[in-house]
Amino acid sequence: MTRLRADALLLLTAIIWGTAFVAQKAANETMGPITFVGARFLLSAIVVLPLAIREARVAPAPITARDSWQAGLIGLCLLIGSCLQQTALLTTTATNAGFLTALYVVLVPVTTWLLTRRRIGGTIVLACLVSIGGAWLLSAHSNTQGIAVGDVMLIVSDIAWAFGISLIAVFLTRTPRPMFLSCLQYAVTAILGLAAALIFETPDWAGIETALLPLLYAGVISGGIAFTLQNVAQRHTPAPEAALIMSLESVFAAIAGAIVLNERLSAIATVGCALILAGVLIAEIGPLFRRKSAL
């Protein structure tokens, strides 16, 4: 797969994730946030399981214990990030959730450096700064009543998202098994999420049935498809640049929030959207100029 195709898959992932914030917000009206996380990723695991089995049949080497533990750790990052994000939607808007979640983009180069000691390029640093500036304009001027508790939870969840993205890159560099990774991380999130829901919430079948459509969208489309597309595409796009592209979910969350939930952006917040787009373009065009200069 070429990097351009991989980037296109990451862009599709961002579109799906951005619109999923609306579904996640709607689900919170009838079911607990942790219950929702466990249920959605149970669906995701079921969707990906046949693909993981097919991948195992043609794989050149078996999965090692180290691979399983690392995939499980990625699943733990997914669980923490998802639970914090879903709980945050109880007290913040879908639009703000998209914007503040995009802040993980500035953390990914740092977490990648911590895990691999890989040098952070100047172009990526510039792109991150531009994108984060845009995210700040969006969150600070998005017609909300100050920073809610949910906003703080979203910022904390960015640490889990950043480590997850960096660990995915490390895993796929050594073990090119994206379907196995997807299935195991979903299973870990589902099992631990549902167990936590039984402890901290009171799952209700009627509430789950009422939120069935949002649950199907988040579990099958956002989880089963989009998260898997991320794992496939990250074999061909460096983690910091992948994070920049996926940060576009904030823009699509704003669009979906405006259309479905009637959430509105100020003029300054709209400038923030443009800055995030500019950051992605810098990350994409910068390497092309460097390669041409080297010729």
Q: Say how many C-beta atoms besides its own lie within 10 A of residue 293's C-beta.
A: 7
Mean pLDDT (whole number) for 65-75: 95
Name the residue with higher pLDDT: 76 or 244: 76
**What are the φ and ψ backbone dihedral angles of 174, each rounded to 5 degrees?**
-95, -35
Tokens of 138: 């969006």
Residue 139, pLDDT score: 67
Residue 294, pLDDT score: 52
- Residue-wise pLDDT for 184-220, tens only, equals 999 999 999 999 999 999 988 888 899 999 999 999 9
- Residue-wise pLDDT for 83-108, tens only, equals 999 999 998 888 778 878 877 877 88
| pLDDT at 295 > cutoff 90 | no
DSSP string spanning 122-145? HHHHHHHHHHHHHHHHHHHTSS-S
Q: What is the CA radius of gyration of the chain?
A: 18
* Band of pLDDT at residue 148, cut at 50, 70 and 90: low
Going by C-alpha positions, the residue among 262, 277, 285 that lies closest to residue 130 is 277
The mean predicted confidence, pLDDT, of the chain is 86
Q: Measure the CA–CA gap between 225 and 278, rounded to whole angstroms.
A: 27
Residues 264/258, Cβ–Cβ less than 8 Å = yes
Residues 148/91, Cβ–Cβ less than 8 Å = yes
Residue 32, CB-side half-sphere exposure with 13 Å CA sphere = 16
Query: Which range among 50-59, 71-80, 233-242 shows the weakest confidence by mean pLDDT?
Result: 233-242
Q: Is 199 exposed, middle or buried (0-12, 13-18, 19+ CB in 10 A)?
A: exposed
Q: Measure the CA–CA gap between 48 and 215, rounded to whole angstroms.
A: 16
Q: Measure the CA–CA gap between 154 and 81, rounded to whole angstroms.
A: 8
Q: Measure the CA–CA gap between 231 and 162, rounded to whole angstroms.
A: 14
